[in-house]
Amino acid sequence: MPLNASPVTTTAAALKLKLEAAKGKLHVNCGFYGGVIPTNIDELDELLKSGVFGIKAFLTHSGIDEFPSVTEADLRKALPILKKHNAKLLVHCELEGVGTMHASSSPDSPDSARSYALYLASRPTSWETDAIALMIRLSEEYDVHVHIVHVSAAEALPLIRAAKKRGLRITAETCPHYLVFCAEDIPDGATEYKCAPPIRERANNELLWEALKDGTLDFVATDHSPAPPDIKEQQSGDFMKAWGGIAGLQFLLSAFWTGAKERGFSLEDVARLLCEHPADFLGMKKKGRIAPGCDADLVIWDPEASFVVKTEDVQHRHKLTPYVGRRLNGVVERTVVGGSVVLTNGRFTRDMADPLLAK
Tens of pLDDT, residue by residue over 271-310, are: 999 999 999 999 999 999 999 999 999 999 999 999 999 9
| Whole-number Å distance between alpha carbons of 285 and 280 | 6
> What is the CA 267 to chain-centroid distance, rounded?
22
Report the DSSP beta bridge partners of residue 132: none
The DSSP result for 315-354, as a single string, is: -SSS---TTTT-EEEEEEEEEEETTEEEEETTEE---BS-
Tens of pLDDT along 90-132? 999 999 985 444 444 444 455 799 999 999 999 999 999 999 9
Other Cβ atoms within 10 Å of 276 Cβ, number: 16
For the chain, which residues make up each domain, given as ranges? 93-291
Chain centroid offset of residue 47 CA: 21
Q: Which helix (H) or strand (E) holds 205?
A: helix 202-214
- Report the greatest alpha carbon distance in the chain: 65
Q: Is 8 left (phi over 0), alpha (psi -120 to 50) or beta?
A: beta
**pLDDT for the residue numbered 352:** 65
pLDDT for 32-66, tens place per residue? 999 999 999 999 999 999 999 999 999 999 999 99
Q: The domain 93-291 is classified under which CATH number: 3.20.20.140, 3.40.50.280, 3.90.1150.10, 2.40.50.140? A: 3.20.20.140
pTM for this model (two decimals) = 0.94
Cα atoms found within 13 Å of the Cα of residue 130, Cβ hemisphere only: 13
170-184 pLDDT per residue, tens? 999 999 999 999 999
The whole-angstrom separation of Cα 339 and Cα 94 is: 41
- The pLDDT value recorded for residue 109 is 57
Query: What's the pLDDT tens digit per position in 198-237?
Result: 999 999 999 999 999 999 999 999 999 988 889 999 999 9
215 burial level (CB within 10 Å; 0-12, 13-18, 19+)? exposed
d(CA 189, CA 187): 6
Give the chain's end-to-end CA distance (angstroms, integer).
18
Tell me the pLDDT band of 26, cut-offs 50, 70 and 90: confident
**pLDDT number for residue 99:** 47
Of all helices (H) and strands (E), which one includes residue 73? helix 72-85
- Supply the pLDDT for residue 356: 72
Identify which of 310, 186, 329 has the alpha carbon closest to the alpha carbon of residue 261: 329
